[in-house]
Amino acid sequence: MVKPSERPEWIPVLHRYFQPVGGPGDNVTEYECVFGNTHDGKLLSEIVSDDPDWLEWILVEDFPDEVKTVVEAAIEKWVH
């Protein structure tokens, strides 16, 4: 598996961790996790339901701001 830090520089920082899924252009409706052993390939909405503590961990660790923004939005959108 390729670690996010080992992905080519031309890939935007966010896309080293999460790939957009859904609408065209800026109408992204969901993201798929593309790193880690446990959640690789899962949608953020699934991770929010299955393991919200993992997403909270991302928020307190040294992840790029772009990643934290997407995670915060997912938590806000799907946590009831």
DSSP state at residue 15:
G
Could you list the residue range(s) of the whole structural domain that residue 41 is in? 4-78
Average pLDDT, the chain: 83
Q: Looking at the whole model, is its pTM more than 0.85?
A: no
pLDDT the model gives residue 68: 94
Number of domains making up the chain: 1
Segment 51-60 shows an average pLDDT of 94
Query: 31: how many CB neighbours lie within 10 A of its CB?
Result: 24
User: Coil, strand or helix: which one is 67?
Assistant: helix
pLDDT number for residue 14: 83
What does the pLDDT read at residue 21?
A: 86
- pLDDT confidence of residue 63: 93
More confident: 37 or 11 = 37
